[in-house]
Structure 1
Amino acid sequence: MSNLSFSLTQPVHYLQSGQFTAELGWRHHEMTHQQDTELIIGLSGQVHLQIGAETFHVGAGDLLTVFPFETITGAQPTVEKSSFIWCHFIQAGTWQLSSAATSDLTQISLPRFYHLNDFSQTVIAAQQLLDLAHNTAVRPLTSDYQTSLLILTLADAVHNQRIQATTHQTSINEIKEWLRINLAQHQSLQEIADQFFMNPDYLNRIFKRETGMTIAAYTNKLRLDYAKLLLLSTKDSIKTISTTAFFSDVKYFERLFKKKNHLTPNQYRQAYTHTFLNNNQVDPGVNLSDQVQHLEQQ
């Protein structure tokens, strides 16, 4: 996943910021950035955003960075009331994108998407920025420095959390959450391990020890659970459901579904026809299995 790197030897130039509350059914309008960068910090609920071909589900503790000259839009409507803080700024000097975070501590490295386990200090810095930036008695330069402090706070939080991961203190729950958020990406075991600075064989071994499944089996289970939820709550075609549940090949989806459930997708749907909800806002949440079980019992 990409990282934006730049120097903070000079403060960034603050443009605008705010805290937004999204009501049920809200969808982000399409917006193309110029040379500015945007930070989006999730506070509650979950909003669904798309940058290029990538979709991001931003919830509490999530950081999303929109790089310069990119277009952001809504991926789908919200299914719950949600809120987030946003901030636009222009970094001084040059910037670059890289696949890995920089190890040079004189450079700031902001990840495309990251979940912070403890984001209290980040929220405090963000709230201070909102207070200062909207106070007409405060000098404009103050907002530049406070935005720079927010960026430093974020970068340090990400850096420290990544260091903890190198000592293998990352919990299985964190890994599972990361896998859920990135279901659409179909990343290799090596790419997943790189996110946690771990050896891929070791990661797979401890994951199987704790969950009883390899990472590949677990991600397939998440996709199948999502497909079940769609089968029970929409009238979408099998092909559409296969694609929506992040399977690139509908034939493979049908074979895997039957192997794991002893029913074809159509047979499964027919067995629970009374549970259709006709809901076009189904979202792959944390407890997909619980949602499926609830629908099966209706």
Structure 2
Amino acid sequence: MRKNRRNSDMGYLNGGLFECSGEWIHPERRIESNEIIFVQRGKVCIEEDGISYELEKNDIIALEKGKRHFGTRKTEDVAFYWFHFSDDIPAKVIRGAASQISVLIRQLFHYENSPQYPRRTLDLMLELILTEIAVSAAESSPSALAEQICEWVRINSNRKITVGEISEKYKYNSDYLSRLIKQNKGVTLEKYIIKQRLDYAKKMLLSTENNISEVAALCGFESYQLFLKFFEYHEKMSPSAYRKLYYGIHMNSH
């Protein structure tokens, strides 16, 4: 389904629904208008301005005019709404956007196919859609995402965590997530993970009477030796020395 609007250099330009049941990859392009892609089915793997994105159902991405974008890998059974416009981009990426936005997009396409509706109707619908996207973006802002990731790391600090695992879970590029955490927490994502694992290990050392091997297991280490190496490298003392130094002192994280 494809639609083209005539005689306009502002607001809504054109849009439609793209569907492919077979194998597909986004072609390389550099266009002179902004574009919204709202995934309805499958995965869209795309790169713009050196940053890679993997989009799934209900994810939205805004592609900027004049910037080169292209697919990074082939996927199958893909469907997404797309439309071009000349207004400012409301947000770069939104994960799990509200279904209300897809309803508004379908209404936009309906009005475009109905001659009785004036041109202004399309621009008003575009304004409403972009406003809804901006509201969704505010509710899932970078700082909110950073807090969500940090809380997940804290909850899972009793086991091995990798930046790659977090990238896969939240569907963001690893480099982007590291920059995001650095901006919000002052350290990279990898260092934040290490800090949380150390904090958990210290808590286990000081709040339990388990021996060091048992503490290592509670902290998700496969062996006592790995735990010892990790702890000594970052704390410059052994777990036993740390326990002897601080055991009995009231620990408070507030």
The correspondence of residues 169-208 of structure 1 with structure 2, limited to 5 A, is 172=152, 179-180=167-168, 181-183=171-173, 185-187=174-176, 189=178, 191-193=179-181, 198-200=184-186, 204=192, 208=196
> Are the structure 2 counterparts of residues 77 and 128 from structure 1 closer, same or farther at C-alpha, using a change threshold of 3 Å?
same
Residue 52 of structure 1 deviates from its aligned partner by 4.0
The 8 Å contact of residues 29 and 73 in structure 1, kept in 2 or not, is answered as yes
Q: 1:139 aligns with which of 118, 128, 150?
A: 118
Q: Within 1, Cα distance between the matches of 2:126 and 2:143? A: 26
Residue 152 of structure 1 deviates from its aligned partner by 0.4
What is the TM-score when the length of structure 1 is the normalising length?
A: 0.50
The correspondence of residues 119-130 of structure 1 with structure 2, limited to 5 A, is 119-130=98-109
- Aligned sequence identity (%): 19
Q: Which has the higher contact order (CA 8 A, sep 6+)?
A: 1
Q: 1:82 aligns with which of 72, 75, 78?
A: 78
Q: Within 1, Cα distance between the matches of 2:195 and 2:83? A: 36
Q: 2:44 aligns with which of 44, 47, 58?
A: 47
2:60 is matched with 63
User: Rg bigger for which structure?
Assistant: 2
Q: Within 2, Cα distance between the matches of 1:13 and 1:177? A: 40
The 8 Å contact of residues 24 and 78 in structure 2, kept in 1 or not, is answered as no
Structure 1 unmatched ranges of 5 or more: 1-11, 96-107, 213-259, 261-298
> Are the structure 2 counterparts of residues 145 and 23 from structure 1 closer, same or farther at C-alpha, using a change threshold of 3 Å?
same
Q: Within 2, Cα distance between the matches of 1:120 and 1:188? A: 26
The 8 Å contact of residues 19 and 79 in structure 2, kept in 1 or not, is answered as yes
The correspondence of residues 1-298 of structure 1 with structure 2, limited to 5 A, is 13-34=11-32, 36-78=33-75, 80-91=76-87, 109-111=90-92, 113-116=93-96, 118-162=97-141, 165=144, 168=147, 172=152, 179-180=167-168, 181-183=171-173, 185-187=174-176, 189=178, 191-193=179-181, 198-200=184-186, 204=192, 208=196
Aligned residues: 176
Residue 74 of structure 1 deviates from its aligned partner by 2.3
Structure 2 unmatched ranges of 5 or more: 1-9, 154-162, 201-225, 227-254
The 8 Å contact of residues 40 and 87 in structure 1, kept in 2 or not, is answered as yes
What is the TM-score when the length of structure 2 is the normalising length?
A: 0.57
